[in-house]
Amino acid sequence: MSHEKLHKAEHATGQPDALSPADIGAITDGAADTKISDHAAIAAAHHSRYTDGEADSRVSAGIGTHAAIANAHHTPPTTLPPNGAASGQLGGNYPGPDVRGIRTTTGPTELSIGAVADGEYLKRSGTAVIGGTPPTLDSTAVHKATAAEVSGMAAKGTPVDADVIMGEDSAGGTAFSKIKITWAALKATLKTYFDTLYAAITHYHAGADITSGTLDGDRLPALSATKKGGAPATGTPSGKFLKDDGTWAAPSSQHYHNQLCPVMPMGISFAGNSSGYIIWGRSDTYTSVEANAQVRLKEVRAVQLSGHVTAYSGTCTFTLRKNGANTGITGTISATGHFTFNGTVDFTDGDLISVAFSVAPGGGLTLYGLFIIFNSVVI
């Protein structure tokens, strides 16, 4: 192959060489070295090397030209979607798969989703989640979370023994338990409780139980000759007595009956500067404690304290006392012989009577007999 065929003068002008594959294949190693040497001697086939500045200038010009071409650029995406078929609990293809099932924390690892109609809720059935019909509210039942159901029910005016009341057993522990109470059992329980608080409508009391209030005479049995009973509702009882026929009657006459009661029947001497209380029935001593000398009486009236003095000097006094207090029956001895101190002192059942004495310093007294006169009305 000729040198002109291998490297034509057009190469020096920047045009491509006209070499065919057959031409290139016919070149041997020795021939190639020769031709390279020959090529190096051709001045028109070479130029000076670019400087760095010249290279940068030509590159910058090329980049500027490229940047002005709009079709040569695009905005890179921030994310790239997966593609292909979905798997696991997803079905269909990426980027738009659909959910075909769910995973559970207990039980089957995967639950497939079955048919669910409008208005149904999801429920598990084996390894699938299917639609279920919501339970309907029983209109005849009483519901815990529904207000005013009990108050809106029809009321029964008068319960009968067979009626039943429903409740919850407070002693049933943590497990729920229900009870039903019949009206008969409820009444019996209430009676047992209220019997400890109130008396029955029809009942009887012992006489000793009635300690206060006013008892209507109409509630007492009728008065008779053999039985005590109610006083008549009519008439004026003041100053009258009640006869056994239940009527009030005025006494035909009345008089006082006097009774002489000896306090100290024998003689005793009292020294000066002494005081105390006469002991009933004793003639040898007295006491300084009034309680040891008191006597309890029935209803009576005291009208006189009397006695007999054989000797005295100084000031000596005697006083009739009622329930530990002085009465108007009192006096001072002023002469020997018989003495009387009069007055009126009424005693009721249970009152206490005593006689006190006092002898002044430097005095003295010898007493023979001390008596009290009581009187009462006799009809």
Q: What is the mean pLDDT of residues 141-159?
A: 75
Residue-range domains of the chain with CATH: 1-69 (no CATH), 255-378 (2.60.120.40)
Stretch (H or E) spanning 326: strand 325-332
Tell me the CA distances in angstroms from 268 to 8, 307, 379, one per residue in order: 192, 12, 40
pTM over 0.75: no
Stretch (H or E) spanning 61: helix 52-67
What is residue 218's predicted lDDT score, i.e. its pLDDT? 63
Locate tokens 């009581």: which residue?
A: 374
Q: Per DSSP, what are the bridge partners of residue 326?
A: 321
Do 147 and 130 form a contact (C-beta atoms < 8 A)?
no
Q: Is pLDDT larger for residue 142 or for residue 20? A: 142
373 closest CA partner among 336, 340, 335, 332: 340
* Cα gap 264→258, rounded to integer Å: 19
Rounded (5°) CA angle 153-156-157: 135
* pLDDT-based confidence at residue 5 (cuts at 50, 70, 90): very low
- Residue 8, pLDDT > 50, answer no
Displacement of CA 38 from its chain's centroid (Å): 122
Q: What is the mean pLDDT of residues 251-276?
A: 79
Tell me the CA distances in angstroms from 265 to 183, 281, 284, one per residue in order: 80, 7, 11
- Residue 224, pLDDT > 70, answer no
